[in-house]
């Protein structure tokens, strides 16, 4: 049952993932690349890996996106 994505996500440990503090440090830069459609996940694959694995930081990212775009 290798295609159970939920379990796969639950046990995700991407070696590129630098953790919350490092991802937060770059989140503003990452977000502006994201808004500019400038492939932030290529420039900052570690941040992208972290946002996939950390619901708390992903939520902060969504909040920052809403704050910056006024959505």
Partner 1 sequence: MGSAENEGRAGDGGRGGRSMDAESARWVRALSADGEAYEEATGRLHALLLRIAYAELNRRGSRHGITGPELDDLAHQAAADALLSITRKIGDFRGDSRFTTWAYKFVMHEVSSKLGRHFWRTAGVQLDPEAWERLPDRLGADPVRQSEARELVAALREAVDEELTERQRRVFTALAVNGVDADTLAAELGTNRNALYKTMFDARRKLRARLAANGHLPLTTARRS
- List of residues contacting Zn ion (CB under 5 A): 20, 54, 57
Pick one of partner 1, Zn ion, none as the site partner of residue 66 (Cβ within 5 to 8 A by kind): partner 1
In angstroms, give the least distance from the CB of 40 to partner 1.
8
How far apart are alpha carbons 46 and 67 in whole angstroms?
23
CB of residue 24 vs Zn ion: minimum separation in angstroms? 7
Q: Position of tokens 């953790």? A: 19
Q: Per CB under 8 A, does 51 bind partner 1?
A: no
């Amino acid at each position: 049952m290798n295609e159970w994505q939920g379990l796969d996500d639950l046990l995700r440990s991407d070696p590129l993932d630098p953790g919350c503090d490092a991802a937060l440090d770059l989140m503003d830069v990452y977000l502006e690349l994201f808004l500019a459609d400038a492939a932030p996940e290529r420039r900052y694959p570690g941040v992208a890996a972290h946002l996939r694995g950390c619901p708390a930081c992903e939520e902060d990212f969504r909040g920052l996106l809403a704050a910056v775009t006024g959505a």
